[in-house]
Amino acid sequence: MATIYDSITPELADFIARQPIYFVATAPKAENGHVNLSPKGIDSFRVLSPTEVVYLDLTGSGNETAAHLAENGRITIMFCAFEGNPRILRLYGRGRTVLPGTKEYEPLLALFPAYPGIRQIVTAGITRVQTSCGFGVPLMEFVCQRDTLARWAEKQGEEGLAEYRKRKNAVSIDGLSAPMNGA
């Protein structure tokens, strides 16, 4: 039931563009480390080429992905069709964070709408693309994206967000350092 591709085809890129949610998984090297799986929404994902993707990462309660990518680079991104024909799409690859103030940051940021609370951008070179049936994924109706995170970030302001990131985003739950702007 699974199909493996060398890269993201135009048809798969179109499928990705239609999904209102995706999931990002990373893990530390340590055997006893925690695997992190984060849901992502809003208009925050782009396919740059058949083997390169990028997503906008907003400030959140942790920064596990950045810490794991700095340590080992492994990343899996999964999309599920909750509407229409069933399908699961997984992108496997090597990722890294692009921080504000770096040469790459502004050109990548220009690919996305402006959102409050942007922390970093994550890029990934894709080494394996796999689809599977998705027959067990529930059929659901998309209502809308939540605005709670954006409202929270606006309330914090830039200074409050910087302080929050220092307190909550600098170290992973396994004690790994997460690259941060100004760090």
Is 182 within the bounds of a domain?
Answer: no
Segments of the chain with pLDDT less than 50: 183
Is 118 within the bounds of a domain?
Answer: yes
Partners of residue 118 on adjacent β-strands: 58
Domain with residue 48: its CATH number is: 2.30.110.10
The encoded tokens of residue 47 equal 């396919």
53-92, pLDDT tens digit by residue? 999 999 999 999 999 999 999 999 999 999 999 999 999 9
Q: Which residues contact 156 (CB under 8 A, 6 or more apart)?
A: 59, 117, 164
The encoded tokens of residue 113 equal 């709408």
* First-last CA distance in the chain: 45
Domain that residue 133 falls in? 3-168
User: What is the number of structural domains in the chain?
Assistant: 1
Q: What's the rounded Cα separation, in Å, for the pair 178 and 85?
A: 38
Q: What's the rounded Cα separation, in Å, for the pair 177 and 157?
A: 24
Which residue's entry shows tokens 């990518």?
Answer: 69
